[in-house]
Amino acid sequence: MQGSSDFSPACPIPLQQYPHVLLAHGGGGKLMHQLLEQLFATAFANPLLDRRHDSAVFESPAPRLAFTTDSFVVRPLFFPGGDIGSMAVYGTVNDLAMAGARPLYLSASFILEEGLPMETLWRIVCSMQQAARRAGVKIVTGDTKVVDKGKGDGLFLNTAGIGGIEHSRTIAPQSVQPGDVLLVNGDLGRHGMAILAVREGLEFQCIIESDSAPVADLVLQLLRENIELHCLRDLTRGGLASALNEISEAACRQILVEEKLIPVREDVHAACEMLGFDPLHVACEGRFVAFVAPNDAERALAILRSHPLGEQAARVGIVREAASPGVSLKSSIGAHRILDMLSGEQLPRIC
């Protein structure tokens, strides 16, 4: 986790006066004004935000734009490898990247629960500021609401984002072709297991830290090197299995993956085995699958591996010509089975 040490660590709201968020902080009066000015405007300062207008106004950065939104309700707010703030920035940045867009501007909406420690809010805001800087985006507009104590889980966050598309490719399931090679940019399942371990108080001998990270830079490098990218998908809820099933359905293509080739870190694998989880169903926050034309696959893999967020990148499967969609997996002992989406939540097994 990148610390907030090089950013003013002290909360600018006078703590003795207001150590916790009050309903009045969302009431439209002086307290709200103070919160917006001293906390959000200070942390996120940039020319567009500094105009203090209801909307951020800017020239269109590219002929084609990508636009996305995501809400974040993670519990706990802080976890090994990240927190809700950095996750909210990276989540939206990554969604933009999956369209092959350069992430540019974000909005940030906060739903705060009355009684949330102001210090907690400040830590999250600092983390967002750091994350935005790392991902090369600006938070240019936002909103704050406060709900009664007991009506929220500390803090909920929504971010929306706009990115510019600087290429002419159609990066979408419809572009997937038979023969396409599937690449992932690193080991799977770390975010989900990191959250579960903290949330459920599982006492593993090691700490699993989230893989939460902004992946736009990797995608832009692939595009810059003119890799024939057909489709991208980030591996969030439902993991690789859900992503592949969604793409297979939308593209009407059959996908084959090989279990042995899919990178899963040993501690994550062990935790999954213990709980009866399949790492292919577990969420990541800094991982994606890329569908690449076969002739470009080796080059794409080399580009990914030369980036710090892609050192463990691997080729995990291919797209097959078939009349019907479906995802199948070659198991570690060499037999084939279908790889289905999860039905409902993953529930820990009895024994």
Partner 1 sequence: MKYLDEYRDADTARQYAGEIRRVTTRPWNIMEVCGGQTHAIVKFGIDELLPKEITLIHGPGCPVCVTPLELIDKALEIASRRGVIFCSFGDMLRVPGSTTDLLSVKAGGGDVRIVYSPLDAVKVAEQEPARDVVFFAVGFETTAPATAMAVFQAAKKGLRNFSLLVSHVLVPPAMEALLASPDCRVQGFLAAGHVCTVMGFTEYEPIAAKYRVPIVVTGFEPLDIFQGVLMCVQQLESGRATVENQYARSVRQRGNQPAQRLMREIFHIVPRKWRGVGEIPRSGMGLSEAYAAFDAERKFGLADRRVEEPAECISGQVLQGLKKPRECAAFGTRCTPEHPLGATMVSSEGACAAYYRYRRPSGGGSGPGMTNVEF
The contact set with partner 1 (CB under 8 A) reads 200, 202, 254, 256, 258, 260-261, 266, 269-270, 273, 275-276, 315, 317-318, 320, 322-326, 328, 330-338, 340, 343-344, 347-351
CB of 318 to partner 1, least distance (A): 6
- Measure the CA–CA gap between 21 and 31, rounded to whole angstroms: 10
> From the CB of 207, what's the least distance to partner 1, in Å?
18
Bin 201: left if φ > 0, else alpha if -120 < ψ < 50, else beta.
Answer: left
For residues 45 and 338, which CB has a smaller minimum distance to partner 1 in the complex?
338
Q: At what angle do helices 84-97 and 216-224 cross, to 10 degrees?
A: 20
Secondary structure (3-state) at 267? helix
Q: Residue 36 or 202: which CB sits closer to partner 1?
A: 202
CA-based radius of gyration for the chain = 21
Least distance (Å) from partner 1 to the CB of residue 11? 32
SS (H, E, C) 17-76: CCCECCHHHHCCCHHHHHHHHHHHHHHHCCHHHHCCCCCCCCCCCCCEEEEEEEEECCCC
Q: By three-state DSSP, how is residue 309 classified?
A: helix
Shortest Å, Cβ 105 to partner 1? 37
Residue nearer to partner 1 on the CB measure, 10 or 333: 333
Taking the complex as a whole, how short is the minimal distance between the CB of residue 234 and partner 1, in angstroms?
23
Nearer to partner 1, 138 or 265 (CB): 265
Please tell me whether residue 227 adopts helix, strand or coil conformation. coil
Burial label, 177 (beta-carbon count in 10 A; 0-12, 13-18, 19+)? middle
How far is 343 from 351, CA to CA, in rounded Å? 20
Nearer to partner 1, 10 or 347 (CB): 347
Structure tokens at 108: 């940030």
| 62 vs 322, beta carbon nearer partner 1 | 322
Q: How far is the CB of 133 from partner 1 (least distance, A)?
A: 37
Q: In terms of CB distance, is 219 or 319 closer to partner 1?
A: 319
Torsion of CA 166, 171, 177, 182, to 10 degrees: 100
Helix and strand element counts for the chain (H, E): 10, 13
Structure tokens at 209: 């830290």
Query: Minimum Å distance from CB 266 to partner 1?
Result: 5
C-beta of 149 vs 260, nearer to partner 1: 260
- Going by C-alpha positions, the residue among 293, 188, 302, 281 that lies closest to residue 231 is 293
Smallest separation, CB 250 to partner 1 (Å): 14
Residue 159 structure tokens: 């971010």
Decide whether 154 or 317 has the Cβ nearer to partner 1: 317
| Closest separation in Å from C-beta 269 to partner 1 | 5
Which residues have C-beta within 8 Å of that of residue 84, sequence separation ≥ 6? 72, 74, 77, 78, 124, 155, 157
